[in-house]
Structure 1
């Protein structure tokens, strides 16, 4: 009986617990789906259930635990307020319902993409609710109401405590302050400890003197500000000592997934889409014909950060085998972060869902502030998707903060870069005692194109209420071409995402300027690949084919330190337009950045690299018109559909059949079957371009097909010049020689056959 009496004190959170449990069960019952962005994954879920049932159970238990802890503490606060105001249990339930509903409205208005499946796939008859909220209710209105409610309670109990010196009033006040700080920092452990201690703290609260209570409240407030104050103090101390120690420039690579070169305002003429990038362009060198080596995120970054092609290091797709990913950072393929660390640099990478590649290989960054991706995280994310009334709490719609589950940052429908901005700033403030190499990788432009409020309204049509009003649903197996109106809206939401990234970029640049880190730093703006948006027959996406300019051609803008006289160094090469933009019109590749940075820092290359230092190109007397650039396709996720590239490929199964979950690799999703890996490498389309022409190598079951296009006259690659027979053979030999040099391959007839894989 004594044991049971101890547990009775936790009855203070009974209303919160019952509310959380009810909400969890109802959401699970009515909002569970076997689709991701409309794509049926029932087969994947079925295999996961049979192999990893315990893993799924733990994942859903994690969500339930966070739900119960949050509402227990919030319900406990309401319990003590109800004692003061004589509120019934029904009234407490109603207040929790109102808080949750208002948070949901805020979240829908702020991130409508989070609820795209609910409104467009599961319950399309309820779309009018989504449209009404996004059309008529600004998130600021809901935030104002919620903050006013909390402010009223805080002011009321502060006043009552100071005037009446009632212990219950001070207890409620301190309880709210503690909850607010723990919620802001997303500390689930802290909130759990508070939930355990609250009943016992209340029992002993009356013994604490008023002066100690006041000091305790002030201490809580100071605790909330202390992380920022500590970071700022460390930054001021370190930057002063650093200025006396070194002249090494800080290096910042600011990148957006899928950012198209032609979408930037200084090129397109649209002054509204990227004003911050346009301002930055005036102080940078613009490389006008820059291409990535492979239009898929994982291998593209592997190429950039090692200075080697994917056919050399083995990261050819998004799901590398253990033997492939172990190449990154080894003696043969050291990364930029690894080399710069040896020369006194601190390195870090920050990003949202598309940056999940960085925890999955040894890139040698000192700190990685990116979401991970594996089967454990995927099951939590599918569980979160069903919890549509708890998601607003986790994504900051209730008093900001609330990031109790790290899996939230990996949601593909939550590309808001502002959520990871504090991590980027903190990485700079905390580690400024050394020169810095920082990568910031944004996902907001990656499909499903998820600009938050107010950016999703910037270029979209207010009176459009079709499927693509807020995001682009993606099904790689579907070859159905949207209507002309839908395509226009897809391009509009893409432009809105570019505009959202421009705001992120502007905030990062302003932060560097405010902290005197801008002028003497090397700052690079680029992308891992571009994006096809229904030009000609190219469809939408990246990595499936190499036609057109929009998939491999990406921005490259480099601002060198102010003390580096780039205008004098490159005076014979650079072009300058009427808007004072300085540009280099020659062909460049993403593998050029590795030798460029080491060249600037006078660090010897660890081995011969396929790329060239851009400094050497800029210092030349003339543009190298004979230069070529290489690229290849990624993996085909689907083996279905009537896309043109499905008729021009060596077939292999779709990704749901190719992949395996590897428990020994922290449940990473990988392609480990050697035969499939060999087929994927063999089936790739490969491309070589020069300043005028593009040659594409396409292996098929019937033989090798070549396509040759005039890049200048035919940018959409509609007129194949290969049959003319006079222009392509030299480029063909050059492409074959390059592949045989850079990879373990051989020619078997016309086919390029990989002879060895990692």
Structure 2
């Protein structure tokens, strides 16, 4: 009987790495799976699609497991090859040591990652295994991420040192093959090439057996070529823009925005010189609009309003989950965007952003290039699958000299507030654009809840002796009824301020880069936000979009810097105190470039007031609430609303639209529009329209003497009646609304339009 040959040492290494990967994948799948997203349990919501969209779950499992497999098998191969030059290691001993090596590397990566991004692990340490929270405190209090990163680099350096010594000593086909394999795996890992790496590992055993049949000169050609490939993408970006052309009359335009950035948090407004030093410096070169307001404090409709210059009640994108018919109106002939208008005169257009920028791939805003995460049921499922894998998360967040692009869907993780990633994309796109005419929109989400700046910024304005569940992050839970104490509120506000500081660093890096590239003086730079944020002022709670009380949720920054040779830079006054709206940016940009406006717009060009301090005639601007996510809770606005189901019951997953989550029921669309609170405000007063089941409520507040809107003065005086008439006429005009008693009835959605 023929004897079966024993498995080769390399085959045993590969099988051991595979077994290690399978064991820990299943372990974390069983003990660390959660269906909570941004504080909301979506378990039942996902389960209802399990039968219909089983392929989505299968794909998620395959991709996440593949990323773990590529990383751990790659480590195993490097470990195996680096020990080839060390005599005396028996195969069994080498395998035992491999398990220890993989486990130690995973622990080092985890330690590095939880110090750098503790928010990513917040659910694990505070909600699933709260008894382990002290472990998180220990690492973030006593170590820097650089400590563990240095150990990881040293280990890799020693391994490559052994490998290079082996190549130098032997100079054989075998040694050259080992080096080439290590370089290929490192290249795939560095640039996150998951599928090529998976294919390479699949055929690797065959290549290993054929290594001695390849001519040595082939190795001597391939190895330098692979080494050259590492800097090639960077060189390509650097030289790409050299061949672009410059049109002096078409300066670069940068629209820079931070989600949830409040106007009153800017240092030159609050007097806190520590919080936004870079924005404060930029303000000295800019026109400042001190009373600027968003039209709707929710990201998707707010951006739709800003980029089209039309109200959400007109273009019908009124919530975060528009239907296909609604979102297709954006960028149509009736609702062109700033990007489309600039493209008509020769501009290249790009959008870059972190997790809240997922709106840009979901509608046609007119950008040639979108470098932002997407959001749909597939992405959501894949993120939850990946988040369960505690040993894989450090790889996906770049703790091991790359790997951060293995699963691109992780880019939209709300707890990953590292702004350096999108700043680097900004620099890349700007380098590629060279001196050509281009419009670049940059949208940072670090200030959006759960407020997740990376190390060390999450410590900037928080209390080091606070050790509660809000130490690193705070989601908005619309169903929460518990009252927070003063320490918890101070901690949450400290997290928000730390996030503002983190965005200011992003902005400072962008400005410095533009100065280094001699673009700053040539460019139009617009700094703003999509909406603000309530942070437990009075009874306002936390978050945005649910109500219109106070200054915090609609009042946002607006700073505009023009090219240094512009006629506007010589104007002596650069501060405007009149009330302005986000729909003013569309006509302002078009006016600057003398692009004809063929439609009536609700906004006005701000170029006409540059150099002035106020409007000649006081102006009122419009805002409305977003969609309510929950139908329960004891917040004041819950008792002031027309009821409709919670957000999970409203949604539908639409497979033919890339599994996007949409509100497609027309009855719900109409109810959501009918239930919205609406307001108009001028420089002194804010009037709020509130439809309820028992009738319409009206509120009027003195913005100057009562900025938190605590005392309703509508019953007294004629100001409220004047603003009420202003609001009703505005809504009837721009929404084609009707009126039943005092209720405003949304205009019927015309067939073919929606």
Task: Determine helix, strand or coil for the equivalent of 1:221.
Answer: helix
Structure 2 distance, partners of 1:276, 1:57, is: 46
Give the counterpart of 2:193 among 187, 192, 205. 187
Aligned residues of 1:686 and 1:698 also touching (Cα < 8 A) = yes
Structure 2 distance, partners of 1:73, 1:129, is: 29
Aligned residues of 2:576 and 2:613 also touching (Cα < 8 A) = no
User: Which structure 2 residues correspond to residues 390-409 of structure 1 after superposition, within 5 A?
Assistant: 390-409=392-411
Structure 1 distance, partners of 2:157, 2:447, is: 37
Structure 2 distance, partners of 1:307, 1:51, is: 39
Q: Does 1:117 align with 2:123?
A: yes
Task: Determine helix, strand or coil for the equivalent of 1:80.
Answer: helix
Aligned residues of 1:450 and 1:470 also touching (Cα < 8 A) = yes
Give the counterpart of 2:344 among 327, 342, 345. 342
User: Cα distance, 1:514 vs. partner?
Assistant: 1.4
Give the counterpart of 2:599 among 607, 611, 623. 607
The worse-fitting range, judged by mean Cα deviation, of 189-198 and 17-26 is 189-198
Give the counterpart of 1:411 among 368, 388, 413. 413
The 1:754–1:534 alpha-carbon spacing in structure 2 relative to 1, beyond 3 Å, is same
Q: Which residue of 1 aligns with 2:480?
A: 478
Aligned residues of 1:586 and 1:625 also touching (Cα < 8 A) = no
Give the counterpart of 1:740 among 715, 719, 732. 732
The worse-fitting range, judged by mean Cα deviation, of 145-154 and 458-467 is 145-154
Measured on the aligned residues, the alpha-carbon RMSD in Å equals 2.1
The 1:10–1:428 alpha-carbon spacing in structure 2 relative to 1, beyond 3 Å, is farther
Aligned residues of 2:192 and 2:402 also touching (Cα < 8 A) = no
User: Cα distance, 1:415 vs. partner?
Assistant: 2.1
Structure 2 distance, partners of 1:96, 1:434, is: 48
Q: Does 1:154 align with 2:146?
A: no
Q: Which residue of 1 aligns with 2:100?
A: 94
Structure 1 distance, partners of 2:188, 2:5, is: 29
What's the TM-score once normalised by structure 1's chain length? 0.95
Give the counterpart of 2:498 among 471, 496, 499. 496
The alignment covers a number of residue pairs equal to 743
Task: Determine helix, strand or coil for the equivalent of 1:88.
Answer: helix
Give the counterpart of 1:316 among 315, 318, 337. 318
User: Cα distance, 1:584 vs. partner?
Assistant: 1.2
Structure 2 distance, partners of 1:567, 1:28, is: 59
Q: Which residue of 1 aligns with 2:581?
A: 589
Task: Determine helix, strand or coil for the equivalent of 1:640.
Answer: coil
Deviation digits for residues 7-31 of structure 1, max 9, x if unmatched? 9886552122111111110000100
Structure 2 distance, partners of 1:635, 1:67, is: 38
Deviation digits for residues 386-434 of structure 1, max 9, x if unmatched? 1111111111011134321111011111121212223222222223363
Q: Does 1:722 align with 2:714?
A: yes
The 1:50–1:159 alpha-carbon spacing in structure 2 relative to 1, beyond 3 Å, is closer
User: Cα distance, 1:286 vs. partner?
Assistant: 1.2
Q: Which residue of 1 aligns with 2:139?
A: 133
Give the counterpart of 2:536 among 531, 534, 537. 534
Deviation digits for residues 70-91 of structure 1, max 9, x if unmatched? 2222222222234433252110
Structure 1 distance, partners of 2:613, 2:541, is: 41
Give the counterpart of 2:433 among 408, 431, 434. 431
Aligned residues of 1:256 and 1:528 also touching (Cα < 8 A) = yes
Structure 1 distance, partners of 2:609, 2:743, is: 34
Structure 2 distance, partners of 1:262, 1:343, is: 37
The worse-fitting range, judged by mean Cα deviation, of 124-133 and 40-49 is 40-49
Structure 2 distance, partners of 1:18, 1:30, is: 18
Task: Determine helix, strand or coil for the equivalent of 2:610.
Answer: helix
Give the counterpart of 2:461 among 454, 459, 462. 459
Task: Determine helix, strand or coil for the equivalent of 1:452.
Answer: coil
Deviation digits for residues 285-307 of structure 1, max 9, x if unmatched? 11110000000000000000000
Q: Which residue of 1 aligns with 2:742?
A: 750
Task: Determine helix, strand or coil for the equivalent of 2:109.
Answer: helix
The 1:222–1:449 alpha-carbon spacing in structure 2 relative to 1, beyond 3 Å, is same
Aligned residues of 2:679 and 2:687 also touching (Cα < 8 A) = yes
Deviation digits for residues 363-403 of structure 1, max 9, x if unmatched? 12001111111111111111112111111111101113432
Task: Determine helix, strand or coil for the equivalent of 2:664.
Answer: coil
Structure 2 distance, partners of 1:267, 1:510, is: 23
Deviation digits for residues 651-675 of structure 1, max 9, x if unmatched? 1110011111111211111111111
Q: Which residue of 2 aligns with 1:264?
A: 266
User: Which structure 2 residues correspond to residues 23-422 of structure 1 after superposition, within 5 A?
Assistant: 23-85=24-86, 86=89, 88-207=94-213, 213-238=219-244, 242-243=245-246, 245-422=247-424
Q: Which residue of 2 aligns with 1:578?
A: none
Q: Does 1:697 align with 2:703?
A: no
Q: Which residue of 2 aligns with 1:525?
A: 527
Aligned residues of 1:161 and 1:167 also touching (Cα < 8 A) = no
Q: Which residue of 1 aligns with 2:615?
A: 623
Deviation digits for residues 28-81 of structure 1, max 9, x if unmatched? 010012323443223213322243233222222221122222222222222223
Task: Determine helix, strand or coil for the equivalent of 1:538.
Answer: coil
The 1:406–1:276 alpha-carbon spacing in structure 2 relative to 1, beyond 3 Å, is same
Structure 2 distance, partners of 1:27, 1:401, is: 20
The 1:705–1:713 alpha-carbon spacing in structure 2 relative to 1, beyond 3 Å, is same
User: Cα distance, 1:138 vs. partner?
Assistant: 0.8
User: Which structure 2 residues correspond to residues 705-716 of structure 1 after superposition, within 5 A?
Assistant: 705-716=697-708
Structure 2 distance, partners of 1:417, 1:295, is: 22
Deviation digits for residues 583-625 of structure 1, max 9, x if unmatched? 2111111001111111111111141211111101226695334
Structure 1 distance, partners of 2:41, 2:649, is: 14
Task: Determine helix, strand or coil for the equivalent of 2:297.
Answer: coil
The 1:614–1:5 alpha-carbon spacing in structure 2 relative to 1, beyond 3 Å, is farther
Q: Which residue of 2 aligns with 1:577?
A: none
Structure 2 distance, partners of 1:622, 1:274, is: 26
Aligned residues of 2:114 and 2:136 also touching (Cα < 8 A) = yes
Aligned residues of 2:12 and 2:95 also touching (Cα < 8 A) = no
What's the TM-score once normalised by structure 2's chain length? 0.95
Task: Determine helix, strand or coil for the equivalent of 1:420.
Answer: helix
User: Cα distance, 1:726 vs. partner?
Assistant: 2.7
Unaligned runs of 5+ residues in structure 1 are: 575-581
User: Which structure 2 residues correspond to residues 636-655 of structure 1 after superposition, within 5 A?
Assistant: 636-655=628-647
User: Cα distance, 1:162 vs. partner?
Assistant: 2.8
Task: Determine helix, strand or coil for the equivalent of 1:529.
Answer: coil
Structure 2 distance, partners of 1:414, 1:567, is: 39
Deviation digits for residues 211-230 of structure 1, max 9, x if unmatched? 65454333222101011111
Structure 1 distance, partners of 2:214, 2:701, is: 81
Q: Does 1:561 align with 2:528?
A: no
Task: Determine helix, strand or coil for the equivalent of 2:441.
Answer: strand
Structure 2 distance, partners of 1:625, 1:141, is: 61
Give the counterpart of 1:674 among 657, 663, 666. 666
